[in-house]
């Protein structure tokens, strides 16, 4: 499967400048996908933060909408099905110790923190800050 006809024998090839040819481009595409996922999560977190902000202004009090409330509003049957699948399997303790507390957290935090992590992991490694005085 990984013989001469496969792609895997080409991964360790290194060009004259020290960069991997296929492996390097694969890494660039993975960074792009991770950065794109982080951007989408940060955008969703911003939308959820704005929604909570407008609800707070309307109620004249701090309103934080939890992930469980939003999921129940969007599709309650899938939330109940997820609870049945995870709660009744060998991962029952995972439901009570991890998933239930996360469902109680604000939606903007649940999307924003992984979004920041993915955006950081997908960043370009080069030095993008240039000093214009040295031009």
pLDDT at 21 over 70: no
| Tokens linked to 134 | 């040295």
Domain assignment present for residue 98? The answer is yes
Distance, CA of 11 to CA of 24 (rounded, Å): 9
Give the per-residue pLDDT at 120. 93
Q: In total, how many domains does the chain have?
A: 2
Confidence of residue 70 (pLDDT cuts 50, 70, 90): very high
Cα–Cα distance, 34 to 115 (Å, whole number) = 9
Domain assignment present for residue 87? The answer is yes
pLDDT at 8 over 80: no
What are the pLDDT digits (tens) for 101-115?
999 999 999 999 999
- Say if residue 9's pLDDT is above 60: no
Rounded to an integer, the average pLDDT of 80-102 is 87
Residues 75, 101, single domain; the answer is yes
Tell whether 8 is covered by a domain.
Answer: no
Q: What angle do CA 54, 108, 30 make, to 5 degrees?
A: 140
% residues pLDDT > 70 (the chain): 74
Domain span holding position 118: 21-61+107-124
How many of the other CB atoms lie within 10 Å of CB of 23? 14
Does the model's pTM come out above 0.85?
no
- Tell me which residue has tokens 């960069």: 19
| Contact indicator for 41, 118 with CB cutoff of 8 Å | yes
Indicate if 57 and 111 belong to the same structural domain.
yes
Q: What is the DSSP letter of 7?
A: S
């Amino acid at each position: 499967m990984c013989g001469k006809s496969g792609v895997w024998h080409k991964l360790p090839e290194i060009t004259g400048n020290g960069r991997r040819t296929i492996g390097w481009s694969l890494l660039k595409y993975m960074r792009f996908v991770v950065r794109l996922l982080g951007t989408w999560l940060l955008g969703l977190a911003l939308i959820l933060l704005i929604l909570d902000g407008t609800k707070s202004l309307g109620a004249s009090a701090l309103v934080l909408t939890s992930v469980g409330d939003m999921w129940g509003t969007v599709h309650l049957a899938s939330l109940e099905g997820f609870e049945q699948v995870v709660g009744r399997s060998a991962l029952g303790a995972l439901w009570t110790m991890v998933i239930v507390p996360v469902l109680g957290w604000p939606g903007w935090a649940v999307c924003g923190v992984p979004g920041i992590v993915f955006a950081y992991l997908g960043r370009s490694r080069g030095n993008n800050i240039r000093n214009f005085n040295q031009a």
